[in-house]
């Protein structure tokens, strides 16, 4: 199975029309994965702040 995957990657590398095409595609895929990870982390942080804000607003000791 690993030999087959290696053969496919070598065939892709030999059949590329431009220089470093496979490397650019892999770089773009990695960049997209990083962007998704940053987005999910930002959403997590935003949701944590929203939950804290709601808990502060509902705290009876902080009500006027």
What count of Cα atoms within 13 Å lies in the side-chain half-sphere of residue 61? 1
Query: What is the percent of the chain with per-residue pLDDT over 70, rounded to a whole number?
Result: 78
Gap between the Cα atoms of 50 and 63, Å rounded: 18
pTM above 0.85, yes or no: no
pLDDT 10s digits, 5-36: 777 777 766 665 666 777 888 899 999 999 99
């Amino acid at each position: 199975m690993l030999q087959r995957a290696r053969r496919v990657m070598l065939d892709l590398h030999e059949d590329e029309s431009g220089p470093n095409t496979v490397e650019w595609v892999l770089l773009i895929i990695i960049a997209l994965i990083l962007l998704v990870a940053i987005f999910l982390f930002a959403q997590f942080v935003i949701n944590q702040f929203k939950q804290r804000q709601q808990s502060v607003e509902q705290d009876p000791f902080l009500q006027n």
